[in-house]
Structure formats: structure tokens, C-alpha cells
């Protein structure tokens, strides 16, 4: 029994670190039935959208108020610098491993099956959390815009049961609409993503152009009220 248990542990250890050769990915790619629907424009917009994200409209004020202060500009610079290395790594893997699977396939070829499993599920969890946060942020902005026009959404439809409401209806509808578009196929999703990226960039540029003339240097003091810890948070 101990011998069988020892063999099982060794096999399990090998399975965790077992890698998949790049050549095998290439062979499987030749048999793949997936269609190539994304061009350079679509992939570029996906990359830009992934780097900027919608969180810039949701979390920037919170991060500045409670963590970094005016030094949030340094936080963005550090994050952007790190994103360069992440994107370079993705680009290198994507050119080497011409297969579907994203980070799961890349990790499976480089670190092994166990790490690939963790990376794959961590990515799904991250998408779930960030998607929920962005949907809630959209709900707040929508409620604010409608309120300025005299249309009030009751709190019971803006808050979850844990917050004293019934359901965050705008957030739920947002998720359902996006899910409906995704089920239509990659090509339609890519078109929507390209349009949303253009809207995002336009909003950021417009805000910068309008707000820049009204900037006051007095608001930069203290520059880093929470210190280095706040900048890196």
C-alpha cells in the first residue's frame, strides 16, 4: 500500500510539472476548426482596451482619495511601465505558441499543468470580479446622469440585498447585454469592443482637454499624503 501511495505521489508530482511541447501545439493547430475572425485592428483594440480598462472611470477617484492622493499619477506611471513587460511577454508567447487557450496554453508550455490550471482559473476569477466592479460602476454613473435629468432610480433597484436593496438592476442589465453580444460571435464582439475603445479614448482625451485649463497646483499639496505605501497600493 505504501509503495502504491509513493508511486501515486510521484505521478501526481510529474503531472503538476508536466509541460506540453510547443510542437504539439502546432500539430493541434493544423487540425483546429476555429475560424480566424480577428484582424490587426481588432487585436490592437483588444490590447488597448485591456490595458486602459473601464476601471479608470470607476476606481481613480477612490484611489486618489483613500490611497495615493495626487501621487496617483506616479501610480499610473508605474502600472504602465509594468504593463510594457506583460505585453511583451504575451507578444512573445503568442508568436511562439500559435494556439488557442491564452495564458493557460502559455503556462502549460513553460511551467507545467499545475501552474496552468491555477493561472487559467485565476484569470476567470479576475474577469468575474473586474466585470462585476465595472458593471456596478456603470450603474452608479447611469443613476447620476439620469438624476441630473430628473429621473430617479429607487435605491431598491440600485443596491444589492446586502446593501439594503433588492437588486442592482442597471448592473445586471449591463452584464446581460454584453453577454448577449458575446454569444453572437467573435466578429460582432470585436466590432463592439472597437467602438467601446474609441468611446473610452475619446472620453479620456475630452476630459483631459477640458480639465487641464482648470488645474490648480495648490491641489497637489500634499503630493503623497499616504507615502510610498499609498502609491503602490
**Number of other residues whose CB lies within 10 A of the CB of residue 77:** 12
d(CA 206, CA 52): 16
Digits of tens for pLDDT over the chain (233 positions)? 444 444 444 455 556 778 888 777 777 776 767 777 777 888 788 878 777 766 677 778 778 888 888 888 898 889 888 888 888 888 888 777 777 777 888 888 888 888 889 988 988 888 888 888 888 888 888 888 888 888 888 888 888 888 888 899 999 998 898 888 888 877 788 888 888 888 888 988 998 899 888 888 888 888 888 888 888 87
Which residue in 129, 126, 135, 127 sits closest to 158, CA to CA?
A: 135
Domain boundary assignment for the chain: 38-214+223-232
What per-residue string of b and e applies to 191-227 under the rule 16 or more CB within 10 Å gives b? eebbeebeebeeeeeeeeeeeeeeeeeeeeeeebeee
The runs of H, that is alpha helices, within 184-225 are 186-211
Amino acid at each position: 500500500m505504501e509503495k502504491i501511495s509513493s508511486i501515486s505521489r510521484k505521478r501526481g508530482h510529474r503531472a503538476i510539472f508536466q509541460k506540453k511541447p510547443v510542437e504539439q501545439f502546432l500539430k493541434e493547430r493544423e487540425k483546429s476548426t476555429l475560424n480566424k475572425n480577428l484582424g490587426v485592428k481588432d487585436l490592437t483594440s483588444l490590447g488597448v482596451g485591456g490595458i486602459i480598462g473601464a476601471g479608470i472611470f470607476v476606481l481613480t477617484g477612490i484611489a486618489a482619495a483613500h490611497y495615493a492622493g495626487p501621487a496617483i499619477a506616479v501610480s499610473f506611471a508605474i502600472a504602465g511601465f509594468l504593463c510594457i513587460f506583460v505585453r511583451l511577454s504575451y507578444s512573445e508567447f503568442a508568436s511562439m505558441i500559435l494556439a488557442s487557450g491564452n495564458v493557460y496554453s502559455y503556462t502549460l508550455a513553460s511551467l507545467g499543468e499545475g501552474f496552468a490550471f491555477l493561472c487559467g482559473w485565476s484569470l476567470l476569477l479576475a474577469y468575474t470580479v473586474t466585470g462585476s466592479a465595472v458593471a456596478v460602476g456603470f450603474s452608479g454613473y447611469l443613476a447620476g446622469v439620469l438624476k441630473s435629468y430628473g429621473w430617479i432610480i429607487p435605491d431598491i433597484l440600485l443596491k444589492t440585498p446586502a446593501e439594503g436593496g433588492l437588486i442592482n438592476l442597471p448592473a445586471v442589465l449591463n452584464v446581460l447585454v454584453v453577454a448577449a453580444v458575446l454569444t453572437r460571435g467573435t466578429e460582432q464582439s470585436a466590432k463592439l469592443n472597437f467602438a467601446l475603445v474609441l468611446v473610452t479614448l475619446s472620453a479620456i482625451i475630452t476630459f483631459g482637454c477640458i480639465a487641464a485649463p482648470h488645474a490648480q497646483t495648490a491641489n497637489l499639496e500634499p503630493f503623497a499624503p499616504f507615502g510610498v505605501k499609498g502609491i503602490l497600493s
